[in-house]
Amino acid sequence: SQTIHQWPATLVQPVGSPLSLECTVEGTSNPNLYWYRQAAGRGLQLLFYSVGIGQISSEVPQNLSASRPQDRQFILSSKKLLLSDSGFYLCAGGTAGNTIYFGEGSWLTVV
Amino acid sequence: GQQLNQSPQSMFIQEGEDVSMNCTSSSIFNTWLWYKQDPGEGPVLLIALYKAGELTSNGRLTAQFGITRKDSFLNISASIPSDVGIYFCAGKGVGSEKLVFGKGTKLTVNP
């Protein structure tokens, strides 16, 4: 079965600093990959998803970007963090037509 | 964009009671997934449904893919304290790999 790894688990960053959250997938190839943000423990907001290397679909225009440099690697970035970027970020992955699994999440606090 | 309406938003029940929650979509889906999330962790997949009318069980949990392909429900029988958490439905529309989520049902079980 597939496993989703994401890191770091916890991050405290000052306003204006850059961000890089990384996600990798084990146990499958050519997965669909997703980044979600969850605020206040409710509701998963889809930020980006990717169906292949270099293919990124952005769902919510904002201060973040995503990249997929390798088949099983998905990176969430920001050049300058805002206070409103704080939240719980979740990476998910799965093959087309199959189940989607989540990583353990990354807590980001922008101060 | 696509949205799922999940209800109820929260439930307070006594241990041993059965629970039912559902999700509806304004468009046809070809995949329905049900997740449970504990505080501070990533969602864990409970049940996956891929065909209209499909009824699938996982222990005390049962979920169905509605025959209209626009809804799904999750039932939990004989609830126990460890059932506490937030339950999410998620789905993919026809021809899309975008996985959208409902806003969750927060379940509290009183012993």
Q: Please, is B82 exposed, middle or buried when counting C-beta atoms within 10 Å of its C-beta (0-12, 13-18, 19+)?
A: exposed
pLDDT of residue A97: 67
Query: Between vectors from CA A52 to CA A48 and to CA A56, what angle results, nearest 5°?
Result: 30
pLDDT of residue B107: 97
Tens of pLDDT, residues A66-105? 999 999 999 999 999 999 999 999 999 988 667 899 999 9
Q: What is the mean pLDDT of chain A?
A: 92
pLDDT of B2 strictly over 70: no
pLDDT of residue A42: 72
Place of tokens 């409103």: A84
Measure the CA–CA gap between B77 and B65, rounded to whole angstroms: 18
Q: What is the mean pLDDT of chain B?
A: 94
Mean of the pLDDT values across residues B1-13? Answer: 88
Measure the CA–CA gap between B21 and B74, rounded to whole angstroms: 5
Touching B: A residues 77-96, CB under 8 Å: 88, 90, 92, 96
* Chain B residues contacting A via beta carbons under 8 Å: 1, 31, 33, 35, 39-45, 48, 50, 86, 88, 90, 97-101, 103-104, 106
Give the dihedral of Cα atoms A58, B103, A103, B100; nearest 10 deg: -40
Share of chain A above pLDDT 70, in %: 96
Chain B contact for A57 (CB, 8 A cutoff): yes
Mean of the pLDDT values across residues B70-88? Answer: 97
Q: Is B80 helix (H, G, I), strand (E, B) or coil?
A: coil
Contacts of B86 in chain A (CB under 8 A): 41-42
Indicate the residue of B35, B50, B104 with minimum beta-carbon distance to A43.
B104
Q: Which residues pair with B23 in a beta bridge?
A: B6, B72
Contacts of B88 in chain A (CB under 8 A): 44
pLDDT band at residue A60 using 50, 70 and 90 as cut-offs: confident
